[in-house]
Amino acid sequence: MEREVKFSLVFRDMWQSAGKYVPRVDQLVKVAPAIIEMGCFARVETNGGGFEQVNLLFGENPNNAVRQWTKPFHEAGIQTHMLDRALNGLRMSPVPADVRKLFYKVKKAQGTDITRTFCGLNDVRNILPSIEYAHAAGMISQCSLCITYSPIHTVEYYLNLAKQLIDAGCDEICIKDMAGIGRPVFLGKLVAGIKKIKNLPIQYHSHAGPGFNMASILEVCKAGCDYVDVGIDPLSWGTGHADIISVQAMLKDAGFKVADINMAAYMKVRSLIQEFMDDFLGLYISPRNRLMNSLLIAPGLPGGMMGSLMADLDANLESINKYKAKRNLPFMTQDELLIKLFDEVAYVWPRVGYPCLVTPFSQYVKNLAMMNVIQMEKGKERWGIIADNIWDMILGKAGQLPGPLAPEIIEKAEREGRKFFTGNPQDNFPDQLEKFRQMMWEKKWETGQDDEELFEYAMHPEQYEAYKSGKAKADFLEDVKKRRSEKEEVHMASEPTKVLTVDVNGQPYRVTVAFGDVNPATLGTTGAAPAATPAAQVPAGEGKEILAPLEGKFFLTKGTDETPVKVGDKVNPGDVLCYVEAMKTFNAVRAEFAGTVTAICYHSGDAVSEDDVLMKIL
């Protein structure tokens, strides 16, 4: 008898593996009927991971988005699943236990059936509460094995992890091959081994980028896999997932029972995806993310991170080349920076204990590698900038690292007086739900149906406040406008003019260069103008300047539990003055000397460039 393999469409991950954003709720509701009409999906990934944060950045209510998006699938009898980062919930940093518990209650009420829980350290202590909370909310608990390729991540390592999760009561196992670097035979042995422990459902998630995943899909299905995650063109392949058409054809030929695909509906979905990209989402998708690249095998960076990586690369390349321009050094190309980054990831990863390269730890390792590259390109030492949340990973506050730390990292921690932690990571983050409930009461904000607004505020406080104030939507619309303008400039500059950014005594200017016989009136500008308008600054006082260590966004605090520095405050060496948020991590800017703050030159959320004056201290 043919064994059945079912398909799950990872619609959220398709978008976030390609670029920065997912469709707006009106677009999600528009595409849902066509996905259902395809008739081949038993499951659809509707939310989780960065989904809620993206909606907040749009200026949309994420709770409304999840309810509307899951509803048509429920009515069609299709299960919905979401991505859950265990200790981190839906964000990049750890979440208090009471907020985690409310998380499952809210998502079940909103229409999510399955939580796919993962810990990038594969620390079972971070996952066990999620199993309990999911069951209490009436959800299916699917627990993940985060797959990577290293000397310590063996088949036996993963089978031991699977047994602990199964013994703890999880309902399903996900083989989360987030970088697509799991070797096919290795994965087949793993699936077969899990089925011997217990014959429970297994779902395989993989990315296409390095080129292994079609062979891996076939191997895991032969070994007993029940569900396979797939994508749809034009967001399949590349840093995304294998396309449903190819996977279905391969498995059908191999003798598996698979659902038929309504090709007319497939073309509708394909057309709508392109429509959404043409609307605005394509502005956040690097063309390189549409390509497969075997260079991804060595660094093992996950497909879900490559979308943001290519966007980050542009800003970092600009920062490096500004430095080089001031010193008449040859500029670096994006390809050169990418290779240097990949090489540095390979250097950094084993030295920080082999965390699985999945959110947030993939970002931590990549960001640490990127900071090292930037610092070394500027003649500084490696390990010069390590963000606080990266230190938390190194020190064990996020869980036990799979491997040992390098002596150079331990020595740096000891030099800076940092303490290692060996207890339960959740103990570091006390309950906060009642504090947020009180804050909402004071602001006269409703806690929402099923306390979903309370949950959203507690999970993403700064983003939620920006959403409520309207700042998030204004910033988003301004960013879309800017990107469209830049895209038009590039198009218009192809012939017979070209738009260039030039550096004059450290100040970047955007100029239009004409070739051949061109009427100056058609150039759209009569002279050079600054490439970017700096944010409005607070009048500066006297004293020594505190400079931005890198490009990013300025914040006085990184959470509601911190008290922001004010003009007139006295500070001591080592005190945190502010943060520069870059590449999803908050980099603390500390006082190097004692004094009084005489000026704060930016407002929270303002964009800053490297070496901008953030504060003055006298």
Instruction: Name the 3-class secondary structure at 495.
Output: coil
Tens of pLDDT, residues 413-422: 999 899 999 9
> Based on the domain organization, do 392 and 513 belong to the same domain?
no
In the predicted model, is pLDDT for residue 538 greater than 50? no
The answer to whether 244 touches 40, Cβ cutoff 8 Å, is yes
Copy the structure tokens of residue 465: 């406040």
Do the domain assignments include residue 523? Answer: yes
> Based on the domain organization, do 525 and 554 belong to the same domain?
no
Tens of pLDDT, residues 271-315: 999 999 999 999 988 887 777 777 777 777 666 566 566 666 777
Do the domain assignments include residue 370? Answer: yes
Helix axes 97-110, 62-75, angle to 10 degrees: 50
Write the Ramachandran bin of 131: left for phi over 0, alpha for psi from -120 to 50, otherwise beta: alpha
> Based on the domain organization, do 418 and 304 belong to the same domain?
yes
> Based on the domain organization, do 317 and 400 belong to the same domain?
yes
The answer to whether 572 touches 591, Cβ cutoff 8 Å, is yes
How far apart CA 350 and CA 345 sit, in angstroms, is 9
In the predicted model, is pLDDT for residue 530 greater than 80? no
Which residue range is the domain that position 569 belongs to? Answer: 544-617
In the predicted model, what is the mean pLDDT of residues 55-69? 92
pLDDT for 310 equals: 65
In the predicted model, is pLDDT for residue 597 greater than 90? yes
How far apart CA 284 and CA 128 sit, in angstroms, is 36
Closest CA to 127 of 91, 86, 76: 86
490 pLDDT band (50/70/90 cuts)?
A: low
> Based on the domain organization, do 332 and 417 belong to the same domain?
yes
Sign of the alpha-carbon torsion through 373, 379, 381, 387 = negative
> Based on the domain organization, do 397 and 329 belong to the same domain?
yes
Do the domain assignments include residue 28? Answer: no
> Based on the domain organization, do 336 and 374 belong to the same domain?
yes
503 pLDDT band (50/70/90 cuts)?
A: low
Give the number of C-alpha atoms closer than 13 A to the C-alpha of residue 306, restricted to the C-beta side: 33
Copy the structure tokens of residue 21: 């954003």
pLDDT for 142 equals: 98
More confident: 306 or 569: 569
Q: What percent of the chain has pLDDT over 70?
A: 89
How far apart CA 528 and CA 507 sit, in angstroms, is 11
In this structure, of 372-376, 397-401, 509-513, 576-580, the range with the lowest mean pLDDT score is: 509-513
In this structure, of 208-212, 220-224, 274-278, the range with the lowest mean pLDDT score is: 208-212
> Based on the domain organization, do 421 and 391 belong to the same domain?
yes
How far apart CA 203 and CA 13 sit, in angstroms, is 15
Copy the structure tokens of residue 478: 């301004």
| Backbone φ, ψ for residue 80 (5° rounding) | -115, 145
Do the domain assignments include residue 162? Answer: no
Sign of the alpha-carbon torsion through 25, 29, 34, 39 = positive
> Based on the domain organization, do 576 and 552 belong to the same domain?
yes
How far apart CA 168 and CA 146 sit, in angstroms, is 18
pLDDT for 21 equals: 87
11 pLDDT band (50/70/90 cuts)?
A: very high
pLDDT for 108 equals: 97
492 pLDDT band (50/70/90 cuts)?
A: low
One-letter amino acid of 212 = F
Q: At which of 530, 554, 579 does a domain end?
A: 530
> Based on the domain organization, do 551 and 517 belong to the same domain?
no
pLDDT for 77 equals: 97
Q: Mean pLDDT, the chain, as a whole number?
A: 88
More confident: 238 or 222: 222
In the predicted model, what is the mean pLDDT of residues 511-539? 42
Residue 6, beta-bridge partner list? 227
How far apart CA 142 and CA 584 sit, in angstroms, is 26
Do the domain assignments include residue 129? Answer: no
In this structure, of 71-85, 306-320, 347-361, the range with the lowest mean pLDDT score is: 306-320
What sections of 493-537 are H helices per DSSP?
A: none
pLDDT for 469 equals: 93
Domain count, the chain: 3
SS3 for 443-494 is HCCCCCHHHHHHHHHHHCHHHHHHHHHCHHHHHHHHHHHHHHHHHHHHHHCC
Closest CA to 4 of 258, 291, 344, 225: 258
pLDDT for 308 equals: 60
Do the domain assignments include residue 356? Answer: yes
pLDDT for 532 equals: 39
Place of tokens 């990863």: 349
> Based on the domain organization, do 506 and 576 belong to the same domain?
no
In the predicted model, what is the mean pLDDT of residues 185-209? 97
The residue ranges of DSSP E strands in 181-222, in sequence order, are 202-206
How far apart CA 566 and CA 558 sit, in angstroms, is 15
Report CA-CA distances (Å) from 204 to 145, 215, 241. 10, 12, 11
Do the domain assignments include residue 181? Answer: no
In the predicted model, is pLDDT for residue 80 greater than 90? yes
Do the domain assignments include residue 33? Answer: no
> Based on the domain organization, do 522 and 562 belong to the same domain?
no
In the predicted model, is pLDDT for residue 617 greater than 60? yes
Sign of the alpha-carbon torsion through 478, 484, 485, 486 = positive
Quick one: 181 exposed, middle or buried, by C-beta within 10 A (0-12, 13-18, 19+)? Answer: buried
